[in-house]
Each structure stands twice: as structure tokens, then as C-alpha cells.
Amino acid sequence: MTPTEPGASARQRGEGKTGSSGARSRRETGARATGTSETTSSPSKSSDSGSSRSAPSGAGTAGAGSPAGRAGRGGPHRRAQPDDRVRVMVAAASQAWTFGVLSCDLDTIAQALESDPDIDIVHRIDARPRAGTVAAGQAILVAEMPAARAADLGRNLQLLVEIDSALEAAAMPTMDPALVAAVTLADPGAGGRPPLFAPFYGAPLVLTVEVTDPGGHAVEDAVIYAVGRRGTAFGVTDRKGHAELTVFEESAEAILSLAVAPARGHWGRWIPEPRLDPATANPVVVERLDAAFPGFPAQELVGWGLRAMRIDQLPPAMQGEGTMIACIDSGAATAHPDLGGPSAGFDLLAGNATGWKDDPLAHGTHSVGVVAAGRNGAGVRGIAPEADIVVLKLLPGGRCSTLIEAIDRCIDAQVDVINLGLCATRPSALVEQRLRHARQAGIACIAAAGNTGGPVAYPASSPAVLAVAAVGRVGEFPPDSLHAAQPAPGLPLSPDGFFAARLSAHGWEVDVCGPGVAVVSTVPPDGYAAWDGTSAAAAHVTGLAALLLAHHPDFAGPFRAPTAARVDRLFDILRRNARPLPLGDPGRTGAGLPDAVLAFRDVMTAPVPGGPGTPWWPAAAIDLTTPIDPTWPIDMTAPVERAAPVDVADPLDRLAAVLHQAGIVNGNGGNGESGQKSNGDGRRRARSGAAGDDTALALAQLRATLERAGLWSGS
């Protein structure tokens, strides 16, 4: 089963640790806009009507202590105003938090809520039984009610109530709010003050901007931003390349900067102190993408991100075949010539299996292009074009409840990787539960850190996911482009030109970083665009994760089973084989930029004459990055200088630690010959027996390991 089948039943994979004791039959009474065919607009009032469990007092029956009863005592019922209403998710509280409190099932809760005229049940997410070690998904009600009523319900110990937060994309073709604010404050004359919102008594200025390419051709659908002292004005160019912006400023000199973000085919442009003239159309020229990439798109473009992560140096046969990646986003334009991969999807907003092919934000199409654009000799090259791509659409308009349904579908379909290029406005305990279930099912969730320029957003802040921040590199975009505003102020460049992206969220939750500035990828209907954002960074890491699952021997051997251990091993490989970037703040890079060559170094061994081995080895350095280690890769056929004898007096733990750091001894049993267990960091555990025998045996085993790796020659 795939997560795109609207009426498919869940696999029998539940452990029943949370949620109801058994799966109720799915109701097919018509899904609302944010639901699917597995949800209902109103739960049955008659279900479990004979249950001896009491309804939660805060959920409201007509009793004196209930919300409905309190409303009745105040005279005729008056419905709350729309702006006072909130959408919440309601579930039965976990027994761990309700010790000594009578438990309550969701049907009882639904009956109590439906009896309140102020509460509308939008839809229901049914429990999903699962087999093995994966917990069953908890049943949830999504309801709209007055904010005060939601606060009352939240105080009931029998219930778990939280706001059904809105979701937003973690990258857009427009200038993000963090950058708008940063540009405003950084421009000359701003004085370090935020934009003013004082009353305006003058006549507004209407400014016209004309956007063309160097050949004089009009650029349509470009978004224009005029950042002034009082705020930002927006406009979109028409077929003639013209856009009108109304600004509430005393004069055109108050415009601090002008930004142009073309929809496709061109580089963005950032102009500080633009000196606009209200009396005429102000020309702005934007460069074409093919000016920087000769022959593009007729010739295939290998993006700077793939080269920086050395994905382009992997064997051509490594294309991710056999893995399944779910992109939870805004859809994907399958008519794009580069996107033949996505063949399945589901629109969770419309509740059908066709709407996912329409991508109104272009965001999902851009991410899917990074992950899996086909290698057809034209357009852009994707990372894992042979992976099975499933698109689950929940943007724009999706909420945390929609995300929960998407994750449930991924667990049922047993996908391998979930790419989360989206953010919620606040954390969610119910989403967190599903993310933990996905990890238990062996699904690696890789999330964009967010484009706030501040703390890491949710779900990237969850410990159950791999959080990815964004970095850029100088020389990969025109110096006057919009991307040139992205280097984070006050932070250094790395020796090879990498910088922390201004827009990227940052903090201790960041695990790794990825290319997220001036990333050229696919956009609807058949074009290409260079975008900034942590979602592009996350898509790069998602693609590499798929290659590891498909081609790394660990995932065909000890970590083949879809369990949490497989996810942990995958994340460990990505972190341990990341190249540290000295950008002044570890919270902006985490472990660093994942390196594909290092991640596969145990696989891509140099050939030994007359013996097994892959007759291929990647270059030690590329034009984008300095060599990671001048001794890497090691030529195992060349003579090795005689090493100094081992000083037996040296502590064995020091030797084991060095081998562990070199990746020769892992944390699960050393070199696998001694039968001893390690302490998790490569050090030996003490065992019974003579100390001298133990020392000699350990040294002999360590020496044998070094000799097999070609790092030791001698007696």
C-alpha cells in the first residue's frame, strides 16, 4: 500500500501502546477540505453509548458544571464571534499523565463536544493499529470553538488539547520576512530602528518598476519589494514586465532598498538605495540563469550543492533505486520534463488522489527537483532519480492535524525517508507522537530548520528528526543578485567560501547543514529558478540519505530491518561524515556539511590486483572545496612506510579511541574478532582473566585491524 490510496486500510502493525485498544471501522461519510476519505465530518454519537466511562466534565453536557450548562444559565445562547474562535485538536490524555483519573475514549469525548452548540467538530483522525514495535496512532478530534472554551477543555486532566497550528513552507521564491527586516535595519539611514508605523498624512507614492532581461525582454511574474522606512510595498510584474507599488513615504528617497524575485529563468536582484523616480517607469535588469550556466537547460546542470557535498563523485550506478521518499509539501508539477519520478501522491487538503499534481506555491516542485530530478542529459540533475517519490500535498492551508494524517500515511506505506520542508507556528505534542512512531517504523524524518533567522522551528526542533540549516557559497550567484544579501552579518566565511545563510534558523537543535542559497531547481510548469531556504538544504540531505539506504552495506545487513536503530544509524553516518565548516557559530552548521564520499568510504575501496573491489575511486578534491585531508583517499597499493613499534605501555583506551575516531572501530563491538563489547566510544570493557593476557590479545587484534586497513606494516 502507498500513502496515496484514499481508502486503503492500515497494515496490521500496531502495538497498542497508546490510543484505543482496537481499530474502529473507518467512516466514509465525506471528508472536509482538510481531511481525507478516512475521516468524517462528525463522529457518530451512538458509538460506545453504553460505555460506563464518564464524559469529561469540561467537555460539556447540559449539566450545571458543563460549558453548555454555564451558557444556559446566562440566558439565551449567543454564539462567539468568528475572531474569538480557534481550531484545536482534542485527544484522550495519556494514562501516564492521568494517574488516578478516570480514562475516557474518544467517542465519549465526541458526544460531549457535539452537545455544545458553540463547538463544531471539523473532522476526526481515527486510530491506526500497527504490528510489531510501532505504536498505534492515537485517535484525534479536530474542532472549532471559542478560545475560552478551548482553555477550559485544556484544564481537564482526561484530555489533551492543543491549537491546530497552521503550517507554512520553509522556503519561498520571495524575500523572507527575516531578510526584509534585516535589510531594513542594515540599510543606511535606518538608524538601527524598526520600520515606523506612525499615522501618514501625505499622499501615497505610486512607483512603477519595469523588469527586463539583458536582451530587453519583459520578465513576467516577478515579485517586487520596495523596503521603506515605514514598511514594505509589494507588486508583481505583468506581461510587459511592469509592476506598480504604492508606498506610504514622504518621498522616493525614503525607499531604502529594492528587491526583485523572478518566478523562473532569472536571477533575483537586490538594489540598495535605488533612487526611484515616481514620474517614470524605473528599469531593472535581471540576468538570465543560462548566462551563468552555458548551454542550460539544454545541457544538464550539476548544482553547486551536489558538488559541495561531493554527490557528483559517486558512481553513476548509485541513484537510490529501491528506496521510497515521501515529500510532504505543496504538491509537484509532474508535467515538468525533469520530474518523471513522482508517480503517486495524495492531496490531503482536497481529499483526492489528483490534486497533488497542482503546485500553487512551486515549493514542492523545487524540493522534489533537488531530490529526484531525472538524469536525462538536460535540465537539472537530481540526487536520487531512481527512488520512488510519493508527494503528499498539505500546503497552502495545511495544519498540524493535516501533517499528522500525512505521517500516518507514510507509516502505513513503509516509506524510507520523509522530507519535511515546512514549519509549524508552535510545537505539537500530537505531531511529536507521530514523529516518534515514524522513527519506530524505521522512517527517517529530515526537516528544514526554518527561515526565521532565529530559533529552530518545529518540527525541526523535535529530537525525532534530523534538523538541517542552510549555508551558501560565494561565487555561486551574481554579486548584485538577491542572494548576495544572504551572508549572515558578523560571521566569517570559511576558507573555501562557505557562509551561514542569514535567513536560516539556528540553534543547538541543528544536526547538519546543507546548500540553501541560490539553489537552482525545477518550478512549474516547466521552468527553473534559483531559491534560498532551509527546505532546499533539507532536500539535499534527504537525497543523500536515500542513496545511503539504497547502497550502503549497513542497510543491506545489520540495519536492514525498518526500526529505530536503522534511523539512528543513518543519522549517525550523516553527522559523522559531515565536513565541519568554521563559520563562527556551531548552531548554524551542526556537525557540518554531509560529504557523500566520506559517507561511502567503506564501500568505495580501491581495487586490489587479483582481489575483490570496485574499480573506481573519487577525486581527492574538487573545484568547489579544498581537500578534506591531503592523505585521503589512501592508495592501498602503494608501499607503506614502516611505522614505529607500538609502545605497550600506552593505554589501550587511547588506541581504541583513535581507531574509533578514524571510523575503524565502531561503537558496537570493535573490530568484531575479540568477542568483547565496547563501551560505545570504542573503548574496551574490562573482562576477567590475567591483565597481561588481556593486553597482549587486545594489541594483537588492534594491529590486525590496522594491517587490514593498510595503515600498519611491520612485525
By residue count, the chain amounts to 715
SS3 content of the chain, % helix, strand, coil (to 5): 25, 20, 55
Q: Cell for 423? A: 514549519
Round to whole Å and give the CA distance between 263 and 173.
Answer: 7
CA–CA gap between residue 245 and residue 701 (Å, rounded): 74
Q: Phi and psi dihedrals of 520, rounded to 5?
A: -90, 125
Sign of CA dihedral 449, 452, 453, 456: negative
The one-character DSSP state at 483 is G
Tell me the H-state helices in 200-332.
Answer: 289-292, 304-308
- Does 480 qualify as catalytic in the annotation? no
Q: In terms of DSSP bridges, do strands 205-212 and 344-347 run parallel, antiparallel, or are they unpaired?
A: unpaired
E runs forming strands in 78-180? 85-92, 120-125, 140-146, 159-163, 167-169
Is the bond preceding 297 in cis, omega lying within 30 degrees of 0? yes
State the catalytic residue, choosing from 266, 535, 552, 660: 535
Question: Given 107, 116, 213, 329, which residue is catalytic?
Answer: 329
* 363 is annotated as an active-site residue: yes
Round to whole Å and give the CA distance between 463 and 506.
15
Q: Taking a C-beta distance cutoff of 8 angstroms, is the pair 424, 457 a contact? A: yes
329 is catalytic: yes
How many alpha carbons lie under 13 Å from residue 133 in its C-beta half-sphere? 11
Q: What's the grid cell of residue 579?
A: 565536513
Which position among 123, 266, 363, 437 bears the catalytic label? 363
Tell which phi-psi region holds residue 357, choosing left (phi > 0), alpha (psi between -120 and 50) or beta.
Answer: alpha
Distances (CA, A) of 213 to 273, 436, 628: 21, 49, 40
Instruction: Please write down the HEC assignment for all residues of 18-59.
Output: CCCCCCCCCCCCCCCCCCCCCCCCCCCCCCCCCCCCCCCHHH
Count the neighbouring beta carbons within 10 Å of the beta carbon of residue 8. Answer: 16
Nearest to 135 by CA among 20, 26, 18: 18
Residue 259: how many other CB atoms lie within 10 Å = 25
User: Which uninterrupted H or E stretch holds 344?
Assistant: strand 344-347
- Supply 144's cell numbers: 472549532
Q: In this structure, are residues 122 and 34 in contact, taking their beta carbons and an 8 Å threshold?
A: yes
R_g over Cα of the chain = 29
Provide the annotated active-site residues.
329, 363, 535
